[in-house]
Amino acid sequence: MGLLRSGCPERARAAVEAVAAGRPVVLVGDAGRAGAGDIVFAATVVTPALVGFTVRHTSGFVCVALPAEACDRLGLDAMHPDADGLDRGAFRVTVDLNGTGTGISAAARAATIAALGSPASVASDFTRPGHVVPLQVQPGGVLGRPGRAEAACDLAQLADLPAAGALCEIVSQDRPGELACGAELERFAAEHDLVVVHIADVVALRRRSEPQVRRVVQTALPTVHGRFTAIGYASIWDAAEHLALVAGPVDPAVPVHVHVECLTGDVLRATACPCRRELDDVMRRFAEASRGIVVYVRPAGLAGACALRRAEIDRAEVDRAGVAATVQWILADLGAAPAARPEPVSAPRTRARRSTSGRRAACPPASSPRAVRVSSPAPPAAPRR
Ligand SMILES: [Zn+2]
C-alpha cells in the first residue's frame, strides 16, 4: 500500500468532528510529498470567508476531491487526454459555476465548490475551463489509495456530508517559495486553532470502523498435522486473500497465531528462513490440542517470500498496521475477538456540530485487543552473486 506510518484513529475522529462542524483541518501528507500539508474542508459547508482564508495561506490552486461517479455525473473529463499516473490522471477539467462572473473571487469559488459537492448539481451547471480544479479520487478512498485527495473526500463522507472535500497546499512563510511542512504546519494549525490529521490517521480510523474482509469459502481441511476448518477471506479494499485455519471450538480465549505468507519457506521449503518450521510447529500443536486458530495473511502486492525479497525492499514495507487490522476483522468474524466490531465514526449531527476548534486528540498506543503470536518474512539477506 505504500503507507508505512502508523495512524491514530482518535486524531482522525477529531478531524471528522471539525469537518462536520464546518471547520477546516490541516491534512498532513505522506513521506512521498515531503510532509507537505493541505487545508481541507467539506465542499458543501464552504463559505466565502473559508475560501478567503484558504487562498491567503495556500498555493491558491484550490481543488475539490470527488468520487468517480460525481465526476461522471458532472461531465468532468480528464484535464488532458494523455494524462497518466494516479496524480496527473486525477485532474479533471477546471470549472466555474454558471453566473459567478470572473469565477476567481472567494465568493465565486465558494459557490463553485459548493455546487461541485451538491448531489443536485448537473453537468450543465458549470462552464469550462474555470477556476476550481476537480480531482477524481480512487475507488475505496484512502483504503484504495492513501492520497491527499482520497483523504479529503473521505473526511467529508465520514462527517456524514456529501463525498466532496476541498483541499489546497499550505505555503511556507519560513521558506518563501516552498510548501510548509513539519513543525511549521503544527505552528500554523496552533495559530489558527485547527486540528492536524495525517492521511495515515484516516486510514487507521476506516480500518477500525469498517470491515476489511469478507468470508468467501469454508471447508474441512485434513492435514499431516490433523484436521482443521479452513475459512477463506477476501480483502474488501484490494485483491488480497487470507485464510483462517481453525482447530476445535472458537471462543474469545482461543490461542491465535498469525503467519504472514512466505512463498519460499511455506511452499518451497526453503531453509533460509524459519517460516515453514514455525508454521508446522503451531499447526501440530493446535491440531493435537484441538484448539487454536492460525491466521494465514497474504498481503496484496509483492509476494511474501523471504528468499526472494530484494535487498532494496526494507522490512518496513510490510504494512503491519494493515495486517493487524485484517487479523482483527477475521478474528471478529470467527467470534474470537469480541473487541473488534464496527464502530460508528461520525457523532450524531447535534453533537458533531459543537465547536471542535483547538481540540487535540490524545493518541494512545495502538490498541491490541488480544495478544497473538506473529511470524512474518524475515529481513532481506544481503544480495548474493
Ligand atoms: Zn520465510
What are the tens digits of pLDDT across the range 122-167? Answer: 999 999 999 999 999 999 999 999 999 999 999 999 999 999 999 9
DSSP 91: B
Domain stop point among 209, 244, 262: 209
Question: How far is ligand 1, taken at its centre, from the CA of residue 375, in Å?
Answer: 9
Q: Into how many domains does the chain fold? A: 2
Do 164 and 234 have their domain in common?
A: no
Residue 362: inside a domain: no
Put residue 269 in one of left, alpha, beta given phi > 0 → left and psi -120 to 50 → alpha: left
Per-residue pLDDT, 321: 87
Reply yes or no on whether the pLDDT at 2 is more than 80.
no
Do 232 and 338 have their domain in common?
A: yes
Residue 3: inside a domain: no
DSSP 43: G
Per-residue pLDDT, 338: 58
Do 269 and 223 have their domain in common?
A: yes
Domain stop point among 192, 209, 226: 209
Residue 258: inside a domain: yes
Question: How far is ligand 1, taken at its centre, from the CA of residue 382, in Å?
Answer: 15
Do 251 and 317 have their domain in common?
A: yes
Reply yes or no on whether the pLDDT at 347 is more than 90.
no
CA dist., res. 376 & res. 61, Å (int): 44
Do 137 and 272 have their domain in common?
A: no
Q: Which three cell numbers stand for residue 87?
A: 496524480
Reply yes or no on whether the pLDDT at 377 is more than 50.
no
Residue 227: inside a domain: yes
Do 298 and 226 have their domain in common?
A: yes
CA dist., res. 232 & res. 71, Å (int): 35
Do 204 and 302 have their domain in common?
A: no
Do 234 and 179 have their domain in common?
A: no
Reply yes or no on whether the pLDDT at 237 is more than 80.
yes
Reply yes or no on whether the pLDDT at 240 is more than 80.
yes
The CATH number given to whatever domain includes residue 102 is 3.90.870.10
Residue 278 confidence class, pLDDT cut points 50, 70, 90: very high
pLDDT tens column, 64-99: 999 999 999 999 999 988 776 667 769 999 999 999
Residue 330: inside a domain: yes
pLDDT tens column, 182-216: 999 999 999 999 999 999 999 999 999 999 999 99
Per-residue pLDDT, 274: 93
Per-residue pLDDT, 82: 79
Question: How far is ligand 1, taken at its centre, from the CA of residue 32, in Å?
Answer: 29
Do 16 and 147 have their domain in common?
A: yes
Residue 357: inside a domain: no
The CATH number given to whatever domain includes residue 222 is 3.40.50.10990
Question: How far is ligand 1, taken at its centre, from the CA of residue 7, in Å?
Answer: 27
Q: Which residues, listed in sequence order, are joined to residue 374 by a DSSP beta bridge?
A: 258
| Mean predicted lDDT score pLDDT of the chain | 86
Share of the chain above pLDDT 90, in %: 74
Residue 354: inside a domain: no
Q: Which three cell numbers stand for residue 289?
A: 490440542
Average pLDDT over residues 17-42: 90
Contact 83, 91 (CB under 8 A): yes
Average pLDDT over residues 243-260: 96
Domain housing 284:
213-343+370-375
Q: Which residue has the higher pLDDT, 229 or 379?
A: 229
C-alpha dihedral over 275, 280, 283, 284, to 10 degrees?
A: -150
Question: How far is ligand 1, taken at its centre, from the CA of residue 323, in Å?
Answer: 16
Do 257 and 187 have their domain in common?
A: no
Contact 13, 36 (CB under 8 A): no
Q: Which amino acid is at 100?
A: T
Q: Which residue has the higher pLDDT, 44 or 361?
A: 44
Q: Which residue has the higher pLDDT, 305 or 326?
A: 326
Residue 364: inside a domain: no
Question: How far is ligand 1, taken at its centre, from the CA of residue 51, in Å?
Answer: 53
Per-residue pLDDT, 366: 36
Question: How far is ligand 1, taken at its centre, from the CA of residue 225, in Å?
Answer: 20
CA dist., res. 260 & res. 337, Å (int): 19
Helices (H) and strands (E) in the chain, counts: 11, 13
Average pLDDT over residues 43-69: 98
Do 36 and 84 have their domain in common?
A: yes
Residue 245 confidence class, pLDDT cut points 50, 70, 90: very high
CA dist., res. 259 & res. 270, Å (int): 16
Reply yes or no on whether the pLDDT at 376 is more than 60.
no
Per-residue pLDDT, 131: 98
Per-residue pLDDT, 359: 40
Domain stop point among 177, 209, 241: 209
Residue 304 confidence class, pLDDT cut points 50, 70, 90: confident
Question: How far is ligand 1, taken at its centre, from the CA of residue 314, in Å?
Answer: 15
Question: How far is ligand 1, taken at its centre, from the CA of residue 277, in Å?
Answer: 9
C-alpha dihedral over 363, 337, 203, 374, to 10 degrees?
A: 90
Query: Which residue, 323, 352, 322, 326, is CA-closest to 337?
Result: 326
Question: How far is ligand 1, taken at its centre, from the CA of residue 292, in Å?
Answer: 22
Do 47 and 167 have their domain in common?
A: yes
